[in-house]
Structure 1
Amino acid sequence: MARGYRFELVKLFSQWRTRLLLLASWIAPAVFVAAVSQQSTLPTDTLFGRWMLATGWAGPLVTLGFAGTWALPLLTSVAVGDVFASEDRLGTWRHLLVAVRSPRRIFVAKALAGLTLILLLVAGLACSSTVGGLAAVGNHPLVGLDGHALAPSDAAGKVLLAWVCVLAPTLALAAIGLLGSIALGNSPMGLLMPTLVALTMQFAQMLPLPVAVRLALPGYAFIAWNGLFTGPAQVGPLLIGVVVGLLWAVTATVLAYRLFVRRDFTQPTDDGSGRRALTAGALPLVGLLAMTVAVVAAASPATGDGIEQEKVQRSVATAFAHLYRTQTEQLHRPDVTEAQLKATAACTKGSEGTGAQGPGNDWRCVVSWHLPDVEATGQAIYQLDVAADGRYVADGDGPKEVNGYFLVRTPNGDAPNPLWQFDGNVELLSATPKG
């Protein structure tokens, strides 16, 4: 087994595309993060993009968001989508079987070689983007998705954990790539299978799906790591996403193994078929999806799409209170605690008053708060764009002295008013808060 594993590693790493991918994954993120962190215009439409000038820990999170959407599915397709199909194209199966004499050892060696490459690629993306961000901006606190500041040590731990958690959906895509490479043979569809599955999951996440369906998709952990950056951390959806991703990885790998060891290598033309891919690959995975949807639906306290009025109001009020304290400190005003502020939010969606729910860009929230020794109640208006996955962007709509656009002086230079625009996250899995 050790000799077979080394042999497959040599074959894999001798390919120019593998070397190019490794070089790009260990260099390109650092260059990208460092370059963007020096620009005056930031990718504010990307999660944590608006904080890239404030802390180096925002860079690896921006990279992680991009990697989960595009980079990791593409890298997985190249790493494992062709690991078995290449033998079909070259017609080398019989020679390999004569040398190794065991289909089982061949499968394990190839799977381990692909896994090794994937781990190196993910490690490169994480390390490179972190080094680039810290070198360009520095080791400063990171603002979480509920407005509270994370100390550099806490930010480092959560960034590392977020990258570790996305290994689960990455391994699920890799296992699907192995299955496609075996079931479809030298067809190019085997190489594209992880990317096609990832694109399908991304499209599904944009739809107002029930919470149970959304969490049961194998790629949900690509999104659920956001919950690590709230206080308290929203670990429930993340744990479900990781477990589902690992379950898909194991199931797809077992299906690929069974299909491989039963293959007739004496016929050079037997290199995969659409019927075999459907019956031995697609149908069992569809059954797994149905089973996980049922289990999550039975165990989840949330109903519908999980975006409800009370949850949005609680999230906006919490984020506003944290960021108000940040603004107070930056403007050198007397400190005030969240308990003293007693911030609350009243949110509506379009023409809906009570019972508003669902994603959309027509949410409007009026935040109210109190200051010590001040009788008048302060109020600020926000327009919210709430995505189907629970992430939202709050845009200040007055009064301009509170949440309008103006620059404030920070230890890292001038920065926009923290209450002007901020990102937040609604925990889809939780039950509706009461009171």
Structure 2
Amino acid sequence: MTATVSHAVVGRRVPVVRGYRFELVKLLAQWRIRLLALACWLAPALFVVAVSRQSTLPVDTLFGRWMHATGWAGPLVVLGFAGTWALPLMTSVVAGDVFAIEDRLGTWRHLLVAVRSPRRIFAAKSLAGATVILLLTAGLAVSSVTGGAMAVGDQPLVGLDGHELAPADAAGKVLLAWMCVLAPTLALAAIGLLGSVALGRSPMGLLLPVFVALALQLAQLLPLPVPVRLALPGYAFTAWNGLFTSPGQLGPLLIGVVVSLVWVVAATALAYRLFVRRDFTDLSFDGSPRRALTAGLLPLAGLLAVTVAVAAAGTGATGSGIDQDKVQRAVATAFGHLYRRQTAQLHRPDVTEAQLQATAACTKGGGRLAPQGAGNDWRCVVSWHLPGIAAVGSATYQLDIAPDGRYTADGDGPKEVNGYFLVRTATGDAPNPLWQFDGTVALLPTTPKG
């Protein structure tokens, strides 16, 4: 008789697929999720169109200075903003509340009676939350691409080393960049699930992904050693920059994506372990900070230590990863590509990078400091040659290099090369590509060409 009853009870359990559909409908029925979906599918397009038609551009944002030139710059500007603010807030609203809402409404006992399996409830809620997050992220990407196409069009995109990407190549890399940020987004979502399970009705569970994202962003602004930077689960939010150099800086990006996926698995497993061991008969459950510390925070801290050790052993990187040789190669390469772009604007005879032989001599702090690490006190003098001309051309740049390797080069003369933001062309004044440009320094050890 006991075996028969147990078999009947198990047989009446709701399948995960039905539970998933039920949880998905519950999420999409919430007004805040609907508003969030509307914002994700409309706001990026409106933003890109509005900014692209203004006379001033967000030049302090990566690819912002190219929003007048190509529609593929807009999605990348939106991607930079999304990785900083939109995606963390989105994961908080969805994943950070997917379990806690049952505590607030007191509906756990009804759900357990209907489903009869905490494990299936966890799977259904986790999959539904991930689905909504993926739909919202897709909305941000599709909307920003649509806005760029409508406002500017399908023109080539200038990469972070000055080389030009054809529209088809730019489209593929923009799509890949958005796909790469799914990994850190899901890592924040998994942390949100953990907070929602461990902290119950406490608002800290809802805000946990935002706090973690802010902490990760602050950490990226610090002069951390390269292995620590790569081991942070949010590094892939910025590592997609490496897709837009030639050759691509894929090593840091792959490491960032793998680390994020490891965090997805670890945080989800910890949330699952806490959930299936929970006492659902306690209707006043309001989370357990001690349990969240011992079963959530400490294991993740241990995971961070392990990933740092693995990144250090696997990459051989030490220090900041920013040194004089890397900076000089990056600046010289970008200058060579952009000089050719300026030459085409002015209808001068074309030259190749090999003919230019562009080189850069860079110092930090006026030569008083060791030429390594981030800072806004880098100065580079770029030299180049033109066929048939004995004199060597030179131009000066002031560099502001961020700890993550991104830099902005500001032209400091001569005026006819990089000292003015416009150049006079046959069709009128046009932006001078050599006046200011963004670039990136490879943080991992590299082998110079040749």
Shorter-normalised TM-score: what interval?
Answer: over 0.9
C-alpha offsets along residues 241-291 of structure 1, whole Å, 9 cap, x if unaligned?
000000000100000001100101111123321001001100000000000
Q: Which residue of 1 aligns with 2:325?
A: 310
User: Which deviates the most, 157-166 or 409-418?
Assistant: 409-418
- The match for 1:382 among 375, 381, 397 is 397
Matched, 1:27 2:42: yes
Amino acid at match of 2:241: N
Q: Name structure 2 gaps, 5 residues minimum.
A: 1-15
Alignment of structure 1 residues 149-160 onto 2, 5 Å: 149-160=164-175
Amino acid at match of 1:52: M
TM-aligned CA distance change 1:145 to 1:272, over 3 Å: same
Q: CA deviation at 1:303?
A: 1.5
Q: CA deviation at 1:415?
A: 2.9
Q: Which residue of 1 aligns with 2:26?
A: 11
Distance in 1 separating the partners of 2:252 and 2:369: 27
C-alpha offsets along residues 66-93 of structure 1, whole Å, 9 cap, x if unaligned?
0000000001100110000011111111
Q: Which residue of 1 aligns with 2:262?
A: 247
1:310–1:433 CA contact under 8 A, matched in 2: no
Alignment of structure 1 residues 100-139 onto 2, 5 Å: 100-139=115-154
Q: What TM-score results when the alignment is normalised by the length of structure 1?
A: 0.98
1:310–1:434 CA contact under 8 A, matched in 2: no
Distance in 2 separating the partners of 1:21 and 1:154: 31
1:388 aligns to what SS in structure 2? coil
Amino acid at match of 2:410: D
1:422 aligns to what SS in structure 2? strand
Q: What TM-score results when the alignment is normalised by the length of structure 2?
A: 0.95
Q: CA deviation at 1:433?
A: 4.6
Amino acid at match of 1:208: P
Q: Which residue of 1 aligns with 2:12?
A: none
Amino acid at match of 1:72: L
Q: Which residue of 1 aligns with 2:373?
A: 358
Q: CA deviation at 1:408?
A: 3.7
Q: Name structure 1 gaps, 5 residues minimum.
A: none
Distance in 2 separating the partners of 1:410 and 1:113: 55
TM-aligned CA distance change 1:355 to 1:123, over 3 Å: same
C-alpha offsets along residues 54-110 of structure 1, whole Å, 9 cap, x if unaligned?
000000000000000000000110011000001111111111100100001100110
1:81 aligns to what SS in structure 2? helix
Q: CA deviation at 1:406?
A: 4.3
Q: Which residue of 1 aligns with 2:240?
A: 225
User: Which deviates the most, 250-259 or 400-409?
Assistant: 400-409
Amino acid at match of 2:134: L
Distance in 1 separating the partners of 2:421 and 2:20: 59
Q: CA deviation at 1:429?
A: 1.2
Q: Which residue of 1 aligns with 2:195?
A: 180
2:366–2:379 CA contact under 8 A, matched in 1: no
- The match for 2:81 among 66, 70, 90 is 66
Q: Which residue of 2 aligns with 1:203?
A: 218
1:54–1:140 CA contact under 8 A, matched in 2: yes
TM-aligned CA distance change 1:12 to 1:411, over 3 Å: farther
Q: Which residue of 2 aligns with 1:400?
A: 415
Q: How many residues were matched structurally?
A: 435
Matched, 1:263 2:278: yes
1:37–1:137 CA contact under 8 A, matched in 2: yes
1:289 aligns to what SS in structure 2? helix
- The match for 2:249 among 231, 234, 256 is 234
User: Which deviates the most, 36-45 or 348-357?
Assistant: 348-357
- Pairwise CA RMSD: 1.5
Distance in 2 separating the partners of 1:22 and 1:235: 32
Amino acid at match of 2:82: A
TM-aligned CA distance change 1:154 to 1:266, over 3 Å: same
Q: CA deviation at 1:3?
A: 1.4
2:346–2:426 CA contact under 8 A, matched in 1: no
Q: Which residue of 2 aligns with 1:164?
A: 179
Q: CA deviation at 1:419?
A: 0.3
Distance in 1 separating the partners of 2:62 and 2:136: 22
Q: CA deviation at 1:352?
A: 3.1
1:310–1:432 CA contact under 8 A, matched in 2: no
Amino acid at match of 1:209: L
2:416 aligns to what SS in structure 1? helix
1:347 aligns to what SS in structure 2? strand
1:302–1:431 CA contact under 8 A, matched in 2: no
Distance in 1 separating the partners of 2:282 and 2:31: 30
User: Which deviates the most, 402-411 or 383-392?
Assistant: 402-411
C-alpha offsets along residues 112-143 of structure 1, whole Å, 9 cap, x if unaligned?
11011100110000000000011100100000
Amino acid at match of 1:330: Q
Amino acid at match of 2:360: A
Distance in 2 separating the partners of 1:119 and 1:413: 45
Amino acid at match of 2:319: G
Structure 1 stretches of 4+ moved >2 Å: 351-355, 406-415, 430-435
Q: Which residue of 1 aligns with 2:6?
A: none
Q: CA deviation at 1:9?
A: 1.0
Distance in 1 separating the partners of 2:396 and 2:41: 44
Identity over aligned residues, as a percent?
78
User: Which deviates the most, 225-234 or 88-97?
Assistant: 88-97
Q: Which residue of 2 aligns with 1:144?
A: 159
Matched, 1:37 2:70: no
Distance in 2 separating the partners of 1:414 and 1:225: 33
Matched, 1:47 2:83: no
1:47 aligns to what SS in structure 2? coil
1:302–1:432 CA contact under 8 A, matched in 2: no
2:346–2:425 CA contact under 8 A, matched in 1: no
